[in-house]
Structure 1
């Protein structure tokens, strides 16, 4: 990433989203009962605006937190959506669900902060303009990956809704989603508990750039010796 161009950051954003099971599980919960394309677009837009805000601003302003704890909160967002999908507020709390659009936007802010904590582990450079373009390139990649994942999710759910098994197994599916969120929560808390320095591999960009330059000099010197 030190020598990579902006397209490499786009590719990194795509791969991060497609491998980000916590983000994908939450999105799966969001679109699970959405039948209309307009509803999918509305809620996904709210989520996207949320995570774009914190991804860009938190990274550019270098606002960070322990990434294990951020990811633990993201796991709770997965559990929340599964609980809501199964009518948990009505069944167990005797109240209506909070405004879903506002909730999705709020969790989008949280997910964007999680993306930011990971992106800040990379040497984004010291030039503000180049740094901002790298962040935006990564964000573009995240959106491309999100669109690709959502296309598969929405299509798969649309096919499943046509089958008689959907009403019967939808509750089971969301119970599994809640279990997956709980498992992710335990994994992140376990990581936080057993990592004495969770930011140990996050390095200052200047220091790492100097190390990289020293390594290039060593390689050039060794190549010259080999040639002689």
Structure 2
């Protein structure tokens, strides 16, 4: 009877919070920039999540019909004026300390990783290639999504460098970014990716629920780390690519599998090979941002390394915080109801994510 009461209470809490949390992973919008500096012109190719852009600028669109690219193209072209005003006020460019204003030359809608993106080309006129280029980026941060991140690639002649615009870092000075700054940005991006990837977090926690010793935890975490590092590298290097919809659905299924195993086989320890097998799938999920950034060969290894280091640091922090809590609860409360109750809540979220992503 006590077990039933606790299960009902946990499920009630889950239903109350399921709407905002179930969609939290997809609410962290991404953007991509390619800034090409030429003799008398700077071309800024900007790709932004279409739904998030409509919220920020304030134009209406049917969010359930984003698959109709022709209709979406008509909508953004009908809103060229408010989009132009938004770009001029939220992206400020200085060439040799002189502000220059961009003009939208072209707009279209395309699909990136199964999501609709606005593809906008801005042009800035200059008299010569600037010695110093300053870009102040404030898209979405104050309007709709503080967790937005924009991965920028800057091309000046033969030189290329990468940068990430985030809520904390909104300004880029071309030619002034050190290796340390670049490494720190990709490390922070990895940290952010794991902490906003609630599906990855739930998977790791579900693995920990069945662990009873530090040695067992280390074997699970090590197996998961090695596996997702392999597929993260393969996907980022464009050696192996899988459809985003398939990867995200498979990640949800991995959560469902572990939750069901915790419910129906609570005494059975999770084997490291299970963590390794599912880690391969999660690695493709981690690779999404770096794969879309299309990093240059000279910066790819360092960017991949520090991004992965950020993920691992976040994972270690999660394990360090969660495992002692699980041990404490297990000792203070009845293990017989604790494991199936928590796993039921995890199963619920896994099912929500699977149906959202697969259908």
Short-chain TM bin = 0.7 to 0.9
| Shift in Å, 1:88 | 5.2
Unpaired runs of 5+ in structure 2?
A: 1-150, 153-161, 164-181
Q: 2:203 aligns with which of 23, 26, 29?
A: 26
The 1:144/1:85 distance shift into structure 2, 3 A limit, reads: same
| Aligned pairs (5 A) from 1:150-165 | 150-165=319-334
Q: CA RMSD in A?
A: 2.1
Q: Match of 2:69?
A: none
Q: Is the 8 A contact 2:256 2:347 kept in 1?
A: yes
Instruction: Confirm or deny that 1:179 pairs with 2:348.
Output: yes
Distance 2:334 2:349 in 1: 21
| Aligned pairs (5 A) from 1:103-182 | 103-125=274-296, 128-182=297-351
| Shift in Å, 1:9 | 0.7
| Aligned pairs (5 A) from 1:197-216 | none
The 1:46/1:60 distance shift into structure 2, 3 A limit, reads: same
Q: Match of 2:272?
A: 101
| Aligned pairs (5 A) from 1:63-78 | 63-78=240-255
Distance 1:59 1:151 in 2: 28
TM-score (norm. length: structure 2): 0.48
The 1:45/1:62 distance shift into structure 2, 3 A limit, reads: same
| Aligned pairs (5 A) from 1:46-57 | 46-57=223-234
Q: Match of 1:61?
A: 238
Structure label with greater radius of gyration: 2
Distance 1:98 1:59 in 2: 33
Q: Match of 2:193?
A: 16
The 1:16/1:99 distance shift into structure 2, 3 A limit, reads: closer
Distance 1:155 1:169 in 2: 15
Of Structure 1 and Structure 2, the greater helix share is in: 1
Q: Is the 8 A contact 2:202 2:346 kept in 1?
A: yes
In the alignment of these two chains, the number of paired residues is 182
Unpaired runs of 5+ in structure 1?
A: 91-96, 191-228
TM-score (norm. length: structure 1): 0.74
The alignment partner of 1:162 has SS state of: helix
Q: Is the 8 A contact 1:67 1:118 kept in 2?
A: no
| Shift in Å, 1:85 | 1.1
